[in-house]
Chain A
Amino acid sequence: AQSVTQLDSQVPVFEEAPVELRCNYSSSVSVYLFWYVQYPNQGLQLLLKYLSGSTLVESINGFEAEFNKSQTSFHLRKPSVHISDTAEYFCAVRPPYGGSQGNLIFGKGTKLSVKP
């Protein structure tokens, strides 16, 4: 079985500062990894994903995440945040095969609060 731990429930940061949201996972098999973002009063949207290949993946709005197999981590980073990045961020994993075992497992979320 897989599990996901997001190490910080809340991360306050000033605008234009760098940020890292931490995610560790536990799995006995290889996994696909995802970061979802939830803006206030909205549903979740996919931010970025790692399936295979390059361990560094990027989103269109400047976020990046690096898959580290030895540390079983998939931390999300942004070098300079904006007020509009204020949201809750969820890390998720699933095994690469489908079927009932293919359900996404979510972490409990990290609330990023960007202050002016």
Chain B
Amino acid sequence: EAQVTQNPRYLITVTGKKLTVTCSQNMNHEYMSWYRQDPGLGLRQIYYSMNVEVTDKGDVPEGYKVSRKEKRNFPLILESPSPNQTSLYFCATTTSGTSGTGELFFGEGSRLTVL
């Protein structure tokens, strides 16, 4: 079954305590992306990756890091979380290139609370 798996699904942490949200996909997709969803703001892209070892900033990258060492994994790292990073985070994947339609496949989300 095609899946995008995020962990953890729920996390409460404190300001400054480094954390990583993992994302793994089994669809052999080149493109992976992280979004955050906030009430009234919709989805905003944090970072994306066109392929292994290729990452780029989205619209709201401040305070986040990513890495893409393997095709299937795209972890989101918060080095020093702050309360304004309390949000619902989604990982999404798709095929890259002109042959793809750009349809995104989403994980189930990770709800992060920073106290």
Interface residue ranges, A against B (CB under 8 Å): 9, 32, 34, 36, 42-46, 49, 51, 90, 94, 96-100, 102-104, 106-109
| Given A42-B108, A98-B96, CB of A90 within 8 Å of CB of B42 | yes
B12 beta carbon closer than 8 Å to chain A: no
Q: Which chain B residues border A45 with CB–CB below 8 Å?
A: 106
Of B13-21, B68-76, B78-86, B97-105, the one touching chain A: B97-105
Most chain A C-beta atoms within 10 Å of own C-beta, residue among B4, B98, B104: B104
Interface size on B, residues (CB 8 A): 26
**C-alpha spacing A51/B101, complex, angstroms:** 7
B62 beta carbon closer than 8 Å to chain A: no
| Given A32-B102, A34-B103, CB of A100 within 8 Å of CB of B40 | no
| Given A99-B50, A103-B48, CB of A108 within 8 Å of CB of B42 | yes
Say which residue of A99, A103, A109 sits within 8 Å of B45 (CB atoms).
A103
B33 beta carbon closer than 8 Å to chain A: yes
Closest A residue, CB atoms, query B54? A100
Classify the interface of chain B: helix, strand, loop or mixed: loop
**C-alpha spacing A44/B109, complex, angstroms:** 9
B58 beta carbon closer than 8 Å to chain A: yes
Minimum distance in angstroms from A32 CB to a CB of chain B: 6
| Given A44-B104, A49-B103, A99-B50, CB of A106 within 8 Å of CB of B43 | yes
Most chain B C-beta atoms within 10 Å of own C-beta, residue among A9, A32, A46, A98: A98
Closest A residue, CB atoms, query B90? A43
Minimum distance in angstroms from A24 CB to a CB of chain B: 15
Say which residue of A32, A43, A90 sits within 8 Å of B101 (CB atoms).
A32
**C-alpha spacing A100/B55, complex, angstroms:** 10
Q: Which chain A residues border B92 with CB–CB below 8 Å?
A: 44
Q: Which chain B residues border A100 with CB–CB below 8 Å?
A: 48, 50, 56
B2 beta carbon closer than 8 Å to chain A: no
**C-alpha spacing A49/B109, complex, angstroms:** 22
Q: Which chain B residues border A107 with CB–CB below 8 Å?
A: 42
**C-alpha spacing A104/B4, complex, angstroms:** 18
